[in-house]
Amino acid sequence: MIFTKQEETALIIVTALAKHPEKRVSLSDLSLRHALPLPFLKKIARLLKSNNIIFSKEGVGGGYQLSLSPDAISVFSVLSAVGGKTLDDGSFGGTSRVCPLEPECIPQKIRSLITANLISYLSAVTIDQFLKKGRTV
């Protein structure tokens, strides 16, 4: 599976916030630390915020924090927030192709099975699993 730049950046933002749950993190700090353009980070943060994964506070002491505990945020929810991919629209993992042999198209059936399993796995894996040392996902 190949992540888009938006999906990678969303995972960077969410895991960075999960590492510091007690404090707000500024996008400027993330921009410097990860060499990512600030306007791009703001765009991704807006998408995550509109999907209730993060929230922000403006002004002195402001920044971003997770809206939920890291163990309540699945990798799939983060990817869906920025990629617009959903469980039921058939776009996740490139499964939106039309097979000329429908409905008996074996490649389509294989893609659908792989995609369903991938979505199930990514929905079960949470952000905190990446942060816990010694734990495999």
Across-strand partners of 55?
65
CA distance 45 to 54: 8
| Burial environment of residue 8 by CB neighbours within 10 A (0 to 12, 13 to 18, 19 or more) | middle
Q: Is-contact 66 17, C-beta < 8 A?
A: yes
* pLDDT tens-digit profile, the chain (137 residues): 678 999 999 999 999 999 988 899 999 999 999 999 999 999 999 999 999 999 999 888 889 999 999 999 999 999 999 986 554 455 555 545 566 666 677 777 787 888 888 889 888 989 988 787 544 44
CB 120 within 8 A of CB 74: no
Domain-embedded: residue 137: no
Residue 136, in any domain of the structure: no
CATH number at residue 110: 1.10.10.10
* Boundaries of domain holding 69: 5-131
Task: Note whether residue 68 is domain-resident.
Answer: yes
Domain total in the chain: 1
Residue 17 in domain? yes
Query: Does 29 fall in a domain?
Result: yes
pTM above 0.85, yes or no: no
Residues in a beta bridge with 57: 63
